[in-house]
Amino acid sequence: MDVKLGFGSIPKPQYIFVSKENDHCWYMLSDDGKQIPIYDRAFTGIITDIEVNKIVETSQGEAKKTDLHILADKPYIIRSGSDSYFSKSLLLSLDTLSYVQLLEPLTIAVSPGEKKIVFCTIYHPVTYRSVGVSWDGHKEIDWQALGQKVSLKINGTKTVNSQPVEMQTNTIASEIRAAFIAQSDTYLAQLKWTPQQGREYLRQKYGKRSRHHLSEKELLDFIDYLKLQLSQNY
């Protein structure tokens, strides 16, 4: 990115907000707080970070937001409600992408739905192909866990960017698994399960003796089961 010398605007990220209106689905804010509609449906850049369930002070009080950081002609932050369909479809799409794809430019597109709903669709700007996602079982998805997984993946692409692709994949995957193992440790301690209880459940449910032998899907399923047991105890 070229640096312009001399006078200019303050070098801070430009926030983009998601909201379904009559003729647009996102907007910017002027210096005096007025909405500036963005009529284009798509935005292309390189994803540099994501903040999920970020507590933000709004005119209606505190709210949880998802901030997607993207570098284009300058830094941008796309902000949406963490519980919105836009944020959820964004997480589903990012989870589908590989570590290598997350290092490349991507196109974020808004798609209006019914009432005030806005969906997110990610496209590959070179092939024009969209990232296919499935909403099957979305009501049972642990969105907090998915957000943590996506955050680790995106942050991992930055920390190991100089390593070979195979090493990147292994390093980031290890970080994600370590985070979920730690999360299950917390739930097991709260449930006061003994190591023997844990091994017995894993043997009966998955035919495996250790969480380290579980697939990623099985590990997430195990975490969901532990959370359910906790909720029933309180």
Span 50-89, pLDDT tens digits: 999 889 887 778 889 999 999 988 899 999 999 999 999 9
Provide the pLDDT confidence category of residue 26 given band limits of 50, 70 and 90: very high
Q: How many residues does the chain have?
A: 234
Write out the E strands in the chain: 14-18, 26-29, 35-38, 42-58, 61-71, 75-81, 106-112, 118-123
Confidence of residue 1 (pLDDT cuts 50, 70, 90): low
- Statement: the pTM of the whole predicted model exceeds 0.75: no
The average confidence (pLDDT) of the chain is: 84
- Picking from 138, 134, 135, 144, the residue whose alpha carbon sits closest to that of residue 227 is 144
* Ordered alpha helix ranges (H), 49-119: 85-96
Q: Which of 115, 107, 54 has its CA nearest to residue 79?
A: 54
Residue range 29-41, pLDDT digits in tens: 988 889 999 999 9
Share of the chain above pLDDT 70, in %: 89
pLDDT tier, 169 (very low <50, low <70, confident <90, very high otherwise) = very low
Percent of the chain exceeding pLDDT 90 equals: 34
Judge whether 64 and 81 are in contact, CB under 8 Å.
Answer: yes
Residue 173: the pLDDT is 57
Write down the pLDDT at residue 66: 94
Q: Which residue has the higher pLDDT, 226 or 178?
A: 226
Distance CA 47, CA 208 (A): 37
Can you tell me the mean pLDDT for 145-165? Answer: 68
Residue among 134, 112, 135, 108 nearest 123 (CA): 108
Question: What pLDDT is stored for residue 157 in this prediction?
Answer: 57
User: Is residue 7's pLDDT more than 60?
Assistant: yes
